[in-house]
Structure 1
């Protein structure tokens, strides 16, 4: 078993309430998520509350999009915690957090995902680190979050 952490951060030039609202509702993720345009025919399903704890989003798409779900488990003005469960192309359970801090000119956003590789995945991902695999997606997501928050 090996553990990993992927983290990226950026200053979003919008107030914390606007940024929080874009992250706290999966209905808003289509405006900024780096994965939303991976498969134009991807099936999406929202359930639970519109936003905050219990909000749930599931997707299934082509090989690159895969299959999985996300659930918001906690939400406070400066932090949103969720769990991402991947079913395909590989199985993974990833606690994920967005930590928000008001700063001059906007909101500092830190996007953090942790996880564990077990069995064969531990061998495969030893040669393909998660930071190199997912980090660029987080960077693109933060750029898109900036665009959505300032639109």
Structure 2
């Protein structure tokens, strides 16, 4: 009998996305609190041109992991994918997110465009309870610690 990897067994896949324009996790949270970043239901969402082909795996418990200033630092549970038709008539995907932003252990990421799939076993763990409310480290220090594998 062969053993399957955790992601194959669980039927869950995550997304990873650069948080363009965010300086910190707090600035991402502030942006998502604006009306412009919310859908008609008041939930934060990210609109993208491409519809994920692995929709069922994403909706089976997946999260979007945010990369802020080159460091993966937090995640949000993906609630659903909504179709949005822009003023240009083009169909887009609104990734509807839970309001809760969960800080994760830091992980360096090179720049990329769009979003990518992230296997469960490659996702950084959430910060332990009690540490999520600690004051964030400066971006440069956070990056340096992640480079040497401390965070």
Query: TM-score band, normalised by the shorter chain?
Result: under 0.3
Provide the TM-score with structure 1 as the length reference.
Answer: 0.24
**Which has the larger helix fraction?**
1
In terms of Rg, which structure is larger?
A: 2
Q: Whose strand fraction is larger, Structure 1's or Structure 2's?
A: 1
Give the TM-score of the pair, scaled to structure 2: 0.24
RCO comparison, higher one (Cα < 8 Å, 6+) = 1
